[in-house]
Amino acid sequence: MSVAVIDVATAEKISKQALLRAGVPVHQADLQIQLLLYAELSGHASHGLLRLPRLIRRIGNGVADPVTAGASNWRGDAYLDVDGENGLGPVVAMGAIDAICERARRTGVALAGIRNCNHLGMLAWYADHIARRGQVAMLFTTAEALVHPWGGRRPMMGTNPIAIGVPAEPHPMIMDMATSLVSMGKIHDFANRAQPIPPGWALDEDGEPTTDAQRATRGAVAPFGGPKGYALGVAFEVLVTALTASAIGASVVGTLDADQPCNKGDVVIVIEPAKGVGPMISRYLQDIRDMEPAEPGVPVLTPGDRARAARERNAREGLTIAQRIWQEIVDLAQRPA
């Protein structure tokens, strides 16, 4: 795969230009690009600029509204019900988050249940934003069914991530992980390189275990950690649907295609931390980093350490992007308005 190394300022400028050409207003384009760049910088290319051309096709197809921040309604004093009206993920979600962060100052906890909204992307971005405001964040989201139940043969759950952000020094703790063993994107990578996948990663389209990456792309990915990871994934699927009245299981569409409205759900919970706990938490996280590692020279990490180190490194050294994708973005930025 041919790659381009692009400095961040250039990547930001060109990709924002591509969105502006697609009719996205400046503020909305800014949020969307900050989100994609955060993922790209963090080393999560699957949630990075790769997503931009499809998003622009979605706007062209009328299934992503480049302007709206959705219609919000306080269903209770601490519960914001959000119809995303097909708006952009970070536009709708950040609007809701600003409202519930403000509300949680008074109520102690506040929740946004979001439906009909485009892909939120990397949840760590939102958790980081909330934690830097001094508040605790929990986020859940569903997506197309790609993961099979433990002991089952067909996909029934999304890769259903959970993200948690907690204020700490010198950096907040940001945990963001899918409940699948690997991403479907990784299976596609193996398929593109015609390499077999390790046993246990996936089932084929007939529900049989396979090491054939190509067949696995039409099958289902395993949950991480066996029955426990499955239990988490299915519980998050049910939780999100219960709170957002979004679609569930195999009926979820819109985050992997260019022509169907997104019908998954997203849940954000913001909580005021107890007073005075910051130093204890910061010290605890540092104690973990400082502990003697099992393997000499391989330091123990806390959640988010690896992604943050990647962001710092990539901000200096530039983003490594598949040439094909970068060229596509450049073309989108240069097309006639």
Of the pair 1, 292, the CB lying nearest its own copies is at: 292
Structure tokens at 119: 């892909």
If one asks whether residue 231 binds its own copies (CB under 8 A), the answer comes out as yes
Tokens for 212?
Answer: 């054939």
Q: Indicate which single residue of 194, 275, 316, 337 sits in contact with its own copies (rule: CB under 8 A).
A: 275
Whether residue 29 contacts residue 20, with contact meaning beta carbons closer than 8 Å, is answered with yes
C-alpha 189/C-alpha 5 separation (Å) is 19
335: contact with its own copies by CB under 8 A: no
- Nearest CA to 20 out of 61, 50, 52, 63 is that of 52
Residue from 39, 50, 104, 114 touching its own copies (CB under 8 A): that is 104
Nearest alpha carbon to residue 59 among 14, 94, 91, 107:
91
What are the backbone dihedrals phi and psi of residue 63, each rounded to the nearest 5 degrees, phi first?
A: -100, 0
Helix (H) or strand (E) holding 71: strand 71-76
Q: DSSP H helical segments within 1-68, as ranges?
A: 8-21, 26-41, 52-60
Residue 62 or 299: the one with the smaller Cβ distance to its own copies is 299
Q: How far is the CB of 136 from its own copies (least distance, A)?
A: 5
Residue from the set 300, 315, 322, 330 that interacts with its own copies by CB under 8 A: 300
Which tokens is 66 given?
């480049």
Question: Is 108 an interacting residue with respect to its own copies (CB under 8 A)?
Answer: yes
Rounded least distance, CB 126 to its own copies, Å = 15
Q: Does 106 bind its own copies (CB under 8 A)?
A: yes
Give the interface segment with its own copies, choosing from 26-34, 146-154, 193-201, 320-328 (CB under 8 A).
146-154
* Signed CA dihedral, 274, 278, 279, 282: sign only: positive
Q: Does 113 bind its own copies (CB under 8 A)?
A: yes
**Residue bearing tokens 């190509």:** 214
Nearer to its own copies, 74 or 309 (CB): 74
- Out of 117, 156, 202, 268, point to the residue binding its own copies (CB under 8 A): 156
Q: Does 77 bind its own copies (CB under 8 A)?
A: yes
**Which tokens in the block code for residue 155?**
């996909």
- Which CB sits closer to its own copies, 5 or 250? 250
Smallest distance from its own copies to CB 219, Å: 12
Q: Is 109 in the site for its own copies (CB under 8 A)?
A: yes
d(CA 69, CA 27): 11
Among 65, 81, 128, 204, contact with its own copies (rule: CB under 8 A): 81
Q: Is the peptide bond before 167 cis (omega within 30 degrees of 0)?
A: no
- 88 or 139: CB nearest its own copies: 139
Is 167 near its own copies (CB under 8 A)?
yes
Residue 252 touching its own copies (CB under 8 A): no
Asked if 244 is part of the footprint of its own copies (rule: CB under 8 A), the reply reads yes
For residue 48, give the nearest of 36, 58, 59, 57 by alpha carbon.
Answer: 36
Q: Which of 29, 35, 64 is nearest to 47 (CA)?
A: 35
Give the footprint of its own copies on residues 44-63 (CB under 8 A).
Answer: none
Please give the size of the binding site for its own copies, defined by CB under 8 A.
80
| Binding to its own copies, residues 183-212 (CB under 8 A) | 203, 207
